[in-house]
Structure formats: C-alpha cells, structure tokens
Structure 1
Amino acid sequence: MIKTSLLRGAALIAVAAFSTGAMPAALASQAQAQTADTPPQVPATAEGRIPAGEFVKQANMRTVRISPDGTRLAYLANSGGKQVLVTLNLNDIAAGPKLILAAEEARDSGERTLRGFRWVGNEHIVMTVISREDMAGNLADFRRLIAYDVKDGELIQLAWRDAGFDAGNILHIDHKNGTFLLQRDSTAGSTERYFLPEVVEVDVDTGKYKYVQRTNPVVTNWQADGMGVVRAGYNYDRDTGRQRILYRSGESDNFSTVYNQADATFTESLPAPQVFIPGTDEAFVTSRESGFTKVYRMNMETMNLGEPVFEVPERDVSGVIQSDDGNRVLGYYTFEDGQERAVYTDETLKAVKTALEGVFGKDEAQIVDYSTDLGKVVVFGGGLQRIGGYYIFDTRTGQLDLLDWQFSALKDAPINPMRAETYTASDGTRIEAIITTPRHREGQKNLPVVVLPHGGPFGVKDTVNFGFAAWHQALAEQGYVVIQPNYRGSGGYGKEFEKLGREPGGYGKRMQDDLNDAVAYFSQQGLIDADRACIMGWSYGGFAAARGAQRDADVWQCAIAGAGVYDMPLMNAWDRKNLGRFSEGFQATSDDAEGISPARNAEGEWAPILIVTAKRDARIPMEQAETLVSALRRAGKVEGQDFRYIVQEKGTHNLPYDDVHMQWIDEAYAWLQKYNPAYIPSDGDAAPALISLN
C-alpha cells in the first residue's frame, strides 16, 4: 500500500483564467495585476531543528510526467524508503495513486532497475528497465522497454524479440498513433551486429514492430527529427576518441560523414543537432566554438555555424527546451548568479511562468511538464525559500491545486538561506561558490564550516536550489555554514575554466587549493572560523576530501569521504579497461598520478577521516576504499581515532535507498560533531531542540 500525503482539492489558487483562444500577453498582464492567495503557510518546523536524515529521504513526489491530454500523471513516490512508480487519474483524484512497479536499484545478477518512463499516447506509460545479468562471470546490463496500459493494468513487452544488450532508446514518439521509433541492438542473424543498432517502429499497444533503419557498420547511435525520419548517425571510438557524425537530408537520401574529430581536452561540445529545423538542412545546435556554450543555427551538410541565436554573457547555455514533437525551440536553460533557470521564448509558456511567479515569487515556480494543448501544467513551487511541492495548474480556469509535497515530512518547511558569491583563489582565478547559512544563526559570525566539493569533477557544477541530495541543507540545519565551491574544472563557466582543472597541476593540486582558498576568503570576511573547517564529499568529492585530509591536515579538522577515487594509477587502469584507452585520462589528467593519490601517501599527518564505500558501486570499484584503508593501517593510523571505515552492503554509487542515504548523512554528522562540533560555548548560542516529524 502506498502512503502519500495527497491533498485533495486543497490550495485552489486563482492565478489567471484564460480560454483556449486568449492571447498569452493578456494572461501575463492579468497575473501581474491581480493579488493571488499566498501559497501554503510555513509549518512549525520553522522553530525547531530538523534532523539531518530527513533531508535525504526519498522524495514523495518526483519526476512528474503528465499525459498528452492532461488527464493522468505518472511519477515516482516513496514507499518504505524506496522509490515506486505510480499513476494518478486527475479526473478521479479521490481514488489516489495506483502502483505500477518498484523502482529498485540493480546491484547483483537477476536484479532490475527502473531507469526512466514517459507517456506514449494517453493510455500507455513506457518504462525503461535495466536488467543486470551474469555473462561468463561478468555483470552486464540489458536495457528493455515495457509499456503499462493504464486502462487494464496490463504490462506489454516492447520489441523484445531478437533484441540484444540495448533495446531502450526512444528516438521519436507519435502520440496520435500510439507508435514510437526505437533504437535497439539486434541478435537476428548474427552476433556481429552487437552495438550496431537498428531502428524499428513499435506499436505501444501490442509491442509489435517494423523495421525503419537497418544497421550501419560505423553507427552506434541514431537520431530522428521531429517528423520521425532518421537523419543522423553517431560513432565514438573508445581508443582514439574520435566522434563521427553521419547525416542525410531526407528519408530517401544516403548518409555521408560530415564530422570526424577527437577532443583531447574533453572540453569541446559535439556540434550535434538539438532540434532539426523542418524543411531544411539546418538544425539548432550548442557549441563551445567561441569558448562558451551558445546556441547556433548550423548547416548540417557543411557543419558551418551561423551567428548565435542565444547566449549568456560569460556563462555556458545549459540546454535547449524543445516542443513535444521535437520541431520547435521553446526556450533555453541558462546559468547565471549560481542558478539555473528556464528562459522561455514560446509566448504561452512565458506567460504561464509569469503568472505562476506572481503566486510563488521570482524563480520559485518551475514548469515541470504540460499537456499538448497547455490546458494543464505541472508546476513545482519552491526550491529557494521553502522546500515546496508539486501543483497542477489549469490554465483555463486559473486554478492551482496542490498535488503533494516533494517531501511529506518536510512539507513547505523553510530552506536555510543560499546564495552565490565569488572569491579570488590564491593564483588570481575567480571562483564562484554556493553558500548555505544556518537559518537559526542568522547574522552570526565565525561559524563552523563544511566545504562540500561536488562530484564529477569536470563539467559539473553546484547551483542555488534545494537539490535532490540536499546535504548542504541537512548540515546547515545543524548549525554549519556549508560552502560548495565551483572549483576550476567545473561546468558552466566556459571551456577555458574547465581546462584549468585538466591542465598539469590542476587535478589534486590547484583544484584542491581552490577549496582551501574558500576557507581563507570566507574566514577573512568573518563568516566562518578557519580553525573550525571540515571537508566532505562523494565520488570526486570523496577524492577531494581524502586528498585534503592527506595533503592539508593543517587546514581541515576532519574529512568525510564517500565513494571516492584514492589510487589514481589503479583507477586509470580500470578506466582503460572499461571505458577505452582514450578515456583513461578523463578522471585524472595529472602529471603526478601517484603523488595526488591519498592511498599512496598514507604516511605522515592526516586529518581524521571517515571513509564510506558502497559494496555494489558500479562506477568506483570498492577496491579503491579497500586500498586506502589498507594503506592507512600499514601507516599505523588508528581505526576509530584517525579513521573510521564503513561498508554499505546495499549501497551503490547513487545512494538509492533511505537507509543507506540516511546512514551516510548521520555518520557524517556524528564525525563532524566529534571533531568539529557545530555549537561550542564561545559561540554564545545553543542548538535548537530537535523536532520529530513522524
């Protein structure tokens, strides 16, 4: 039985009524002129301190998708600490959500994982399922599609016959006819066709299919345009790094190679089509040719870029928002002031967003999904000032109905204040950081700090929002300032900034200095106490934490490292085997792989370090943590004092369940309290009482 806090018929907010034929401009002006009811009031959690573990529980509502006709939702809900896929009939909300299947995390042979879902037509939810199988002693993942018929609950296997490893890449959907184009590996005739996919058209109601595009000896991925015509093919050479694009103008034309290059810096963006412009050989593409990601019109036959059609000064454009049929650009995702935003060029969506921000506040209303006719819009309200939830907006009646809070226990609780602030690193490089301050200690100076470097590391960034893994909020709620530096190599700041992390002396050195420099700068500003600083991270952040403990024990009172890389030569060998020779240098392009490896430098003074590893981590082998712990023991480090080692038996790289995720944050907080307590007598204040949200 799925338990939800679905609020039926609550929070009906008249935002702006407009009929199907109303002008979008009228909607916008009406929203600006009217005084709307306020969103739900902040609960009593504003006064007490929320336990850290509450911030990392599975969301009660996430990844919400609305059917094309706007009558049903599909989304992920929380059931017993695990994610389940459910559907909700918007015409019968009183009946509540209906379970489809559990979204488990595949770890061992025979296990399944739900990796995504989408509507095909109005009566079928197509789910992508990963099946992990034992292939001659090695684990291999097979991808398949299953349709769920919302009328009778039937599950339908889609194009499974003769399917190889991957039969799960949807290229185009025809909602009207209930069909879609599927790229899949095929075993029909010969196993030599593995990883050379074909394209078939699948009937979602029966699972039957017909061939659209046969395999090509150099194509490993296909792309279709908004009309359902396969227009481009791609190939990536694991050893040389060359990326190849084949293109054709129309269905009856032959493919020809238009691009075949490698990027040894890993910082260029492949000029691949985002949206094919109907009736032309042009497409909207993103490119970093000028140093920053911009959107261009490009001739696909010549690969010549026109003038930019959209750009953001000194920042990368994050992506293109396209129409459901894939034929139009509706807007763009931007990154400015530490925040990603959707900027709509479509007048109707622009008007809807303006109307919603009139209710929730600037940047507090995100359009999540919408019906084909824009009659129903799924909205997320919150994320900057409060945690928030999901709403359904009827653009015809102007009603805004609360569907559910994102997190049932937290509801609309206030968020610890976040902001973006830039500091200058010791070599003069400008670094932007996301700062989260404890709401219970507003205005206080010289507070304890946790520096939380993001994973990746390259091309990834932290932003000003609540986030899925809200560790910054969990720790700020306990009294810490949390700093998330977008150190050199991070994404969003252009190609040259990324290269700064990849050049010799970057990884494990200057990137590490950026974290130390954040402590120095914000200490000088009086916000934090440099003598009360710890470092914590997962994946690359786990490496940075361990490297900090090993290299800079004088900077950090403690370190917390999860799922990190600790022996670079060992990791490079793993990458070479599993990702190809070209990608061997992706993780660490350092000229000193041994020197930056904490596991190879276990002697000497270390900051006390908590090490957490996931036994079933498919990205970072558990041997990385085992190697580090063995080295610490050989170096005479005392377990329980100098380090603590935790193996999460059910853990993966994604912290999939409440128990493993809460263990991570609770153990981290306990380690912080041991070596860098949030409240000490000289602070002049005391921790607010913990409150129970059960």
Structure 2
Amino acid sequence: MIIAKLALRASSAVALALATTSIAVAPQAAAQEAAPQVPELVDGRIPVAEFVKQSNMSGTRISPDGRHLAYRTGQGGREVLVLLDLENLGTPPKLILASEEAREAGERTMTSFRWVGNDHVVMTVISRENMNGQLADFRRLVAYDINSGEMVQQAWRDAGFDAGQILNINHDNGTYLLQRDSVATSTERWGIPEVVEVDVSDGSYKTVQRTNPVVRGWVADGNGMVRAGFNSDSKNGKVRMLYRSENDANFKTVYNEADETFTSTLPSPRMFIPGTDDAYVISREDGYDKLYRMNMNTMQLGEPIFEVEGYDLQGIITNQDNTKVVGYYTFDGTMRRVFTDPTLKAIKGGLEEVFGQDEAVIVDYTDDFSKVIVYGGGMRREGGYYLYDTQSGSLRLLNWTRTALKDAPLNPVKAEWYTTSDGTRIQAIVTYPRHRMGEKNLPVVVMPHGGPFGVQSATNSTEPWNQPLAEQGYVVIQPNYRGSGGYGRAFEEMGREPGGYGKRMQDDLNDILTAYGEKGVIDPNRACIMGWSYGGYAAARGAQRDPNVWKCAIAGAGVYDMPLMNKWDERNLGRFNSGFQATSEDPEGISSARNTDGPWAPILIVAAKRDARIPMEQSDTLVDNLKKSGKVEGRDFRYIVQEQGTHNLPYDDVHIQWIEEAYAWLEKYNPAYIPSDGDSAPALVNFD
C-alpha cells in the first residue's frame, strides 16, 4: 500500500522535522508577498478586523487527476474563484469568475462549483431578476474550460427558474446528470423538474428522466440512475417520496408523512447501496441521529450501523462515485471527519502526527489518493492549506488562511458543560482570552448562535467573532441552549415546548452568568449579549427583558416583531413551514419591538438592507418603537443600516464594520480592561 511507504508514519520526531524544516513552501501570490512581517504577533493584540477578512483559500477542490486546484479567494474585499496549476506552483492563480453575492435585479453570483472531468470547472450561477415587482433568482450552470479559458453554458436552452442541481458526475466521460425546470412545452410547469444528461464540453444534453407532476426533486444513485423523487406540501408539511428499483420500472410512493414537531430526520437516501434496494439513511428512530441500512420498498430500518453516543451523527462521507461510505461527520462539541476507509484513516493519522490532534482536516483528494488537500491548524493556531503528495511524502504550503495572521496562536476554545436553573445540562463553547489565562472575574460576551433549532456552535465551527473578541480580553461563551441541534430529538423538543422560545431558552443564556460566575471565571456584572439572526433576536430580547442582567446588547439581522415575521414566513415559506420558529404561544410577549417601554440595556442594532431572509421592517419597527418610547439614539441605542449588506455578511466592508462597531459598543459599556483588573491590554499589532 502507498501509505506503508509514507514518511508520516515514521516516528514523531521525524514528523516534527517534516513540519518544521522539510515543508517546501509554495510561492505566495503578489498580495501575500507584500504583506508586512509582524514579529510581535504572539505578544501583541490582533485587531478585530483581521479575523473576519476574506480567506485566502476556501472551498478548495482538486481535479480528479490532481493537476489543478480550484478555490475561492479574497480579492479587494470581495470573493473570486481562481484556478491554480499544482504542477507549476510558481505561477500565480488564474481568475475564473467573481463570486460576489447578488443583491439587486440584474446582479449575478457564483454560489458553488464542481469539477467534471479534469478540464472543466462547473459553476452554479444565480441571476437575480425583477419579476413583476418581486426579486426572483434564476439558477444556471456554466462550465469553465481550463484549456481554452472559455465559458460554456450548460443546458440553458428551454430552462426555467432552476437549472442548477447536479445529481451525478461521470468524470471519465465528462458528463453529468442535471435536474432542471424546463419550459420547452409549457411555462405552467416551472418547479416540476426533469433530469438531463449533459456533455460538459459543449453544454449539449439529452433527457433521461421526464417530469412527474408530484415530484419537485430527484435523487440518483452512484451509477447515474434516477432512483427516487420528492415533494413537500407547504400547507400540511407532508413529505412524499417515490422510489423505483430499475431504470424502466414505475415509481411508487413509499413515504408520505409530516413531522409536526420539526425534530425528526427524514429517512431519505444518503447513498444507494449498489445492486440492492437498500440505502444508507440517517434517522432519529430512537432519539438520536444514527446511520441505518433501510429497504427502500418497505422503509424498514435495520440495526444502527454507526452512532455517536449521546450526540447526533452529522452525516456520511462517500467516495467520489458515491458508491461506498468512507467515513462520517461527527459532533461532540467538536466537528470531526472520522474515516473508516483504511487509506484515508492512515493519511489522517499521519497528518495529525504533524499538525496535532484535530488540527489536520482532509479537505479533498484525488481518486487514487495520490494527492491530498489538507487544512492544517484551526484549533490552537491559525492555519493554512497544504498539498500532500502521498507518493513522495512531500507536504507543501499553498497559502495561509489569512496572510497577516499566518499561524498565529488562537485564543483557547473548549467545549464545557454547565447546569441551568431548572437542572438542564447544556454544552457551551468557551473561548478564553490568551493574554489573560488563569485570571479571574473577567468580562464576558455571551453569543447565542443563529437558527435557533437544529443548529449548534462547535469548538472548530462557530460564529467567527469569538476569536476577535477573546483577543481583546473577553471570555466569549457560545451556549448550545435547549433547542440546539446535535444533542438528540428530546433536547430540540425542549426548546419547542410552551414557554421555550424567548423565555426558557433566554433563561439558558442568563444561567451562564451564574454558572461561570460561581467558578470565578467571569464577573456576572460585566456581561454583554451579542448575536446575528436568531442571535440578534436573543440579544434584543435580553436587552428588553433582562436589562439588569446585561450591560449592553449587540443585535444583528434579528427578528424583533414576531407577529410581523410570522406573517412574512407564511407568505414566503408556506403555512406549515411558518410554524418552524415555534413562537405561536405568545408572539407579542416575546417580541422586543412590542415591549419598548420601560428600561432597556443599551443596544446596538445592525441591519442588512439587502437581507433576503429577515426583512428590513423588523429593524425599522424596533427603532421606531424605541424612539416612540423615549429612547435616545446615541445613548440608549445605535442603529446602523448596511446598504450593501446581506444576511450572510459576505464582504469585507460590511463584516469589518459589524465586528468593529460591536467591539466599540462593548468598550463603551463594558470595557475589557478596567483599573481593578490588575492587568492592562497588550499593545495592538499594527498591520499597516
């Protein structure tokens, strides 16, 4: 085996030598070469903006033959897709396409990309258009020919709204299956897709699966045969699944149910097992997401195949052909990729000898495992992307995640448990300020994640604001409050119980101050709450409901008027799906915008004008009502509207504004360092 020959399986001393002296570093891009050297980085305090700038590399995908790498990179504060020649690393990356987020009619964005064969990068492009006064997104595929540099439209003729879902790729033939709406025969059938086989070289296609009036989405197996179809009813929530065993067989309904609790896992096929009517599915049949083998005709589950005790399984990792399970995505406070394939398992084990446990992430690899893209770092230090040649044993740095930070030490992050006032155990992700390790009674920022249901923070997958604020001297605590994902159905249901949303879930945030105050880690009287999306809701609710608890609040892209939001959700998501937020018990009582009289903690409100998920009326309503209640802008609240902002903070300018304004608000109402602390803030590192 290849792995038996790898230097990474040598002693730890050899592995350390490889990491420190033998890595051949690839030439950096011009922007990186011009970056200043900052020798005082370890001792100095890194400004908050440096942590949120666009990454040098993200979404990396290696071509099947291992000769080229496509990835996103920051350029002038925006994100672009580039191509890197791995056999000529001295040459700069080649620009393929800008991947900015569409905001207004007439704008375009590149949302994702895949290799099809060795010579084409296929990109999903969104075109935002004005349709009778409403913004509508058209999805298309465009292939970039790396040899000619030409862009080739993929099956655009007669395409409707959506022509961008790839179901299967045949790299050897340069073809793939594409699900798309078609208007060839009628414009009344948009949203009822067909499946076509596309030749990536010229975008020509042929139909392999006609439309079915009850199917809104198709699933193909690893051999390229369409095996299942899905539909969901936005009025009653029923999900219908159709299945067939053979290519010429008729589809039959095998599932047609609704989950009114929103806490079950749809037993949809994650991978069809070749030569059988079985598929691997993830189900919460006994309370936690586990992997099962399921007969698609009978929908009967076998015994669990893989599980993580006390946590939900996050997903499966399959081979390039989607015919074999090679590993799993797991969570226990930390997100991990656990490989069962012997080769990948050995590669990961060897790489962890170099980078440290949980510090080596296998991002992508060639079919024969000869070349592997590795992300090294991310837990204890800032990281970078590396090219690992398993045949020669060479490990080459391609680029740091962020040029200025390189492999700077991170503020320590730990997954810890605390007990709430009603006895519930909750896991929280705690980031400790590296400049103040061992000190007591520190200021704290509680940062609830978005969602809220089915989502979680993790030590290596969190909101990106824990590090910049911990760097300034704050303890940052990101609680996986009841209702969060990863801890089983019963834990999610606790957040959906009457009195959960905006009440008991809010208590979980307050109880952090008691638990960590009793430990002496934080000073409960020096606490602020900060968040985005649902986190923004929780921050505003905290400022309104518990002004005696929080010194200040920072709310971004939040929901503040639940009755208004529920109407918007019903109109845009359907009657059934509008119930996902579980706010029907007391929508007015849990709405901060409807309770602006009385004392409030000082609150910073940030709204993205082009937010497609949370309408601007939410922030405007809150601000208008604060003013009507006598609150003074500049003292009681500050309102920032990001003209170019969206719900995802996609650009450096809006992201930097968010984190810098948040830090300024913290410093004004809850400074990280005060005279009684006995220490002082390290000097800021100058990156100019």
The verdict on a shared fold, with TM-score over 0.5 as the criterion, is yes
CA shift for structure 1 position 44: 3.4
Q: In the TM superposition, what whole-angstrom CA distance separates every residue of 1:589-621 from its partner, at most 9, and x where no partner exists?
A: 341010000000000110000000000000000
CA distance in 2, matches of 1:23, 1:643: 60
Contact 1:43 1:413 in 2 (8 A): no
Q: Which residue in the other structure is 1:664 paired with?
A: 658
CA distance in 1, matches of 2:687, 2:223: 50
Q: Which residue in the other structure is 1:55 paired with?
A: 51
CA shift for structure 1 position 192: 1.9
Further displaced range: 266-275 or 40-49: 40-49
Q: Which residue in the other structure is 2:535 paired with?
A: 541
Contact 2:2 2:391 in 1 (8 A): no
CA shift for structure 1 position 347: 0.3
CA distance in 2, matches of 1:525, 1:122: 56
The answer to whether the aligner puts 1:383 opposite 2:363 as a matched pair is no
CA distance in 1, matches of 2:548, 2:583: 26
The answer to whether the aligner puts 1:115 opposite 2:115 as a matched pair is no
Q: Which residue in the other structure is 2:28 paired with?
A: none
Q: In the TM superposition, what whole-angstrom CA distance separates every residue of 1:460-515 from its partner, at most 9, and x where no partner exists?
A: 00000265x52000100000000000000000000010011111111100110000
Q: Which residue in the other structure is 1:3 paired with?
A: none
User: Which of 83, 88, 92 is residue 87 of structure 1 equivalent to?
Assistant: 83
Contact 1:179 1:204 in 2 (8 A): yes
What is the identity, as a one-letter code, of the residue corresponding to 1:421? E
The answer to whether the aligner puts 1:435 opposite 2:430 as a matched pair is yes
User: Which of 2, 7, 17 is residue 37 of structure 1 equivalent to?
Assistant: 17
Q: Which residue in the other structure is 1:258 paired with?
A: 254
Q: Where do 5+ consecutive residues of structure 2 fail to align?
A: 22-37
User: Which of 453, 465, 477 is residue 448 of structure 2 equivalent to?
Assistant: 453
CA distance in 1, matches of 2:464, 2:383: 14
Q: In the TM superposition, what whole-angstrom CA distance separates every residue of 1:33-79 from its partner, at most 9, and x where no partner exists?
A: 84432646996311100000111111111110000011100000110
Contact 2:8 2:353 in 1 (8 A): no
Contact 2:3 2:346 in 1 (8 A): no
What is the identity, as a one-letter code, of the residue corresponding to 2:620? E
Contact 2:529 2:550 in 1 (8 A): yes
Q: In the TM superposition, what whole-angstrom CA distance separates every residue of 1:531-577 from its partner, at most 9, and x where no partner exists?
A: 00000000000000000000000100000000000000100000000
The answer to whether the aligner puts 1:503 opposite 2:483 as a matched pair is no
CA distance in 2, matches of 1:112, 1:239: 32
What is the identity, as a one-letter code, of the residue corresponding to 1:634? K
Q: Where do 5+ consecutive residues of structure 1 fail to align?
A: 1-20
The answer to whether the aligner puts 1:513 opposite 2:513 as a matched pair is no
Contact 2:316 2:328 in 1 (8 A): yes
SS in 2 for 1:664: helix
Contact 1:466 1:473 in 2 (8 A): no
Q: Which residue in the other structure is 1:574 paired with?
A: 568
SS in 1 for 2:304: strand
User: Which of 282, 294, 299 is residue 298 of structure 1 equivalent to?
Assistant: 294
Q: Size of the alignment, in residue pairs?
A: 672
Q: Which residue in the other structure is 2:414 paired with?
A: 419
Contact 1:322 1:330 in 2 (8 A): yes
CA distance in 2, matches of 1:302, 1:674: 62
Is the alpha carbon distance of 1:32 and 1:284 closer, same or farther for their aligned partners in structure 2, counting shifts above 3 Å? Answer: farther
Question: After superposition, where does 1:158-237 map in structure 2 within 5 Å?
Answer: 158-237=154-233
CA distance in 1, matches of 2:325, 2:520: 46
Q: Which residue in the other structure is 1:489 paired with?
A: 483
Contact 1:31 1:355 in 2 (8 A): no
SS in 2 for 1:45: coil
CA distance in 1, matches of 2:409, 2:514: 29
Contact 2:8 2:351 in 1 (8 A): no
CA distance in 1, matches of 2:383, 2:514: 34
Is the alpha carbon distance of 1:384 and 1:38 closer, same or farther for their aligned partners in structure 2, counting shifts above 3 Å? Answer: farther
SS in 2 for 1:95: coil
The answer to whether the aligner puts 1:478 opposite 2:472 as a matched pair is yes
CA distance in 2, matches of 1:53, 1:94: 30
What is the identity, as a one-letter code, of the residue corresponding to 2:185? G
What's the RMSD between the two structures over aligned residues?
1.3
Is the alpha carbon distance of 1:38 and 1:590 closer, same or farther for their aligned partners in structure 2, counting shifts above 3 Å? Answer: farther
CA distance in 2, matches of 1:35, 1:353: 13
CA distance in 2, matches of 1:392, 1:623: 47
CA distance in 2, matches of 1:526, 1:314: 29
Larger RCO: 1 or 2 (CA < 8 Å, sep 6+): 1
CA distance in 2, matches of 1:389, 1:152: 30
CA distance in 2, matches of 1:31, 1:189: 66
Q: Which residue in the other structure is 2:35 paired with?
A: none
SS in 1 for 2:80: strand
Is the alpha carbon distance of 1:120 and 1:512 closer, same or farther for their aligned partners in structure 2, counting shifts above 3 Å? Answer: same
CA distance in 2, matches of 1:426, 1:380: 40
Further displaced range: 684-693 or 289-298: 684-693
What is the identity, as a one-letter code, of the residue corresponding to 2:676? S
CA shift for structure 1 position 185: 0.5
Contact 1:240 1:582 in 2 (8 A): yes
Contact 1:566 1:598 in 2 (8 A): yes
CA distance in 2, matches of 1:301, 1:44: 64
Q: Which residue in the other structure is 1:397 paired with?
A: 392
Contact 1:387 1:466 in 2 (8 A): no
CA shift for structure 1 position 588: 3.3
What is the identity, as a one-letter code, of the residue corresponding to 1:465? N
Q: Which residue in the other structure is 1:463 paired with?
A: 458
CA distance in 1, matches of 2:584, 2:20: 51
Contact 1:410 1:693 in 2 (8 A): no
User: Which of 126, 142, 145 is residue 130 of structure 1 equivalent to?
Assistant: 126
What is the identity, as a one-letter code, of the residue corresponding to 2:67? T
The answer to whether the aligner puts 1:593 opposite 2:587 as a matched pair is yes
CA distance in 2, matches of 1:35, 1:138: 58
CA shift for structure 1 position 28: 7.4
Contact 1:199 1:214 in 2 (8 A): yes
Contact 1:283 1:299 in 2 (8 A): yes
User: Which of 309, 325, 342 is residue 313 of structure 1 equivalent to?
Assistant: 309
SS in 1 for 2:568: helix
CA shift for structure 1 position 410: 1.0
CA distance in 2, matches of 1:371, 1:634: 61
Contact 1:59 1:406 in 2 (8 A): yes
**TM-score of the aligned structures, taking structure 1 as reference length:** 0.95
CA shift for structure 1 position 400: 0.4
Further displaced range: 39-48 or 94-103: 39-48
* Same amino acid, percent of matched pairs: 66
CA distance in 2, matches of 1:466, 1:571: 28
The answer to whether the aligner puts 1:532 opposite 2:532 as a matched pair is no
CA shift for structure 1 position 693: 2.3
Is the alpha carbon distance of 1:553 and 1:407 closer, same or farther for their aligned partners in structure 2, counting shifts above 3 Å? Answer: same
User: Which of 243, 246, 257 is residue 242 of structure 2 equivalent to?
Assistant: 246
CA shift for structure 1 position 23: 5.7
Is the alpha carbon distance of 1:170 and 1:46 closer, same or farther for their aligned partners in structure 2, counting shifts above 3 Å? Answer: same
Contact 2:6 2:390 in 1 (8 A): no
CA distance in 2, matches of 1:185, 1:534: 48
What is the identity, as a one-letter code, of the residue corresponding to 2:17? D
Question: After superposition, where does 1:273-292 map in structure 2 within 5 Å?
Answer: 273-292=269-288
Question: After superposition, where does 1:608-623 map in structure 2 within 5 Å?
Answer: 608-623=602-617
Q: Which residue in the other structure is 1:341 paired with?
A: 336
CA distance in 1, matches of 2:160, 2:19: 50
CA shift for structure 1 position 113: 1.1
CA shift for structure 1 position 95: 1.1
CA distance in 1, matches of 2:263, 2:122: 34
